[in-house]
Amino acid sequence: MRKPIIAGNWKMNMTPTEAVYLIDELKKLVADADIDVVICPPFVDLAVAKKLTEGTNIKVGAQNVHWAQNGAFTGEISVAMLKEIGVEYAIVGHSERRQYFGETDETVNLRAKAVLAAGVVPIICVGETLAQREANATELVVKTQTIAALNGISADGVAKLVIAYEPVWAIGTGRTATSEQANETIAVIRNIVKAIYGKAVSDAVRIQYGGSMNPKNAAELMSMPEIDGGLIGGASLRAADFAAVVNYDKR
């Protein structure tokens, strides 16, 4: 049995002061959750997030990370820096990083390997654009991205990481893949893992849905056999909404 994981990607939202209020409210609302709960604030909020979540069931993740341990990479953050303040997860290859900041399949792979090597869990994002879906290229796109992202990663490493299927056309648009569409594509990803690493690894790896999961559709999406959680965007900025997703099975 794979333990569900719900992660909130705050994107470029929430000052440290705002983060305090959100986390203080959220802690009470998800205290009884029996799944993995992760929040991914901006870099400047990470230290305060770690302090506020100590002794709770909320884990803290970063939204990005560089593959080098140090060096002349102005504006970047290394996994060693994240780990020293207690960060346990790191999002890698989010579609917005690919679209706006030049992330490639190669750099996604480099980041994922650096994160795993440091004992942090990467949340590796893959997914197709609307044009690619309309061209019936969804399977090819996610296959290409998944194979590239996992290149050179051991079976043990793959079993520990998280993959997030995020149809780019459903991020921040209010559009959502049907539960069947999401489950079908996540099954494709799982079968890719199975073909490379075997059934035990494909059964172990957790694959989230990352396309506008919210309080209204969380229970239906999470009822699908291949979907192990959600990478939540807008709904993670409101404690009540994020908690409703986390507590999808209690409503």
Which of 94, 96, 103, 226 is catalytic? The answer is 94
Q: Check if the beta carbon of residue 104 is closer than 8 Å to that of residue 145.
A: no
Which of 103, 128, 166, 226 is catalytic? The answer is 166
DSSP tag of 165: E
Rounded-to-integer distance, Cα 159 and Cα 3, Å: 12
Task: Write b or e for each residue in 18-34: b if 16 or more Cβ atoms lie within 10 A of its Cβ, otherwise e.
Answer: ebbebbeebbebbeebe
Question: Is 66 a residue of the active site?
Answer: no
Rounded-to-integer distance, Cα 21 and Cα 250, Å: 24
Question: Is 94 a residue of the active site?
Answer: yes
Pull the structure tokens for residue 166. Answer: 């995020």
Pull the structure tokens for residue 236. Answer: 């993670």
Q: Which residues are catalytic?
A: 94, 166
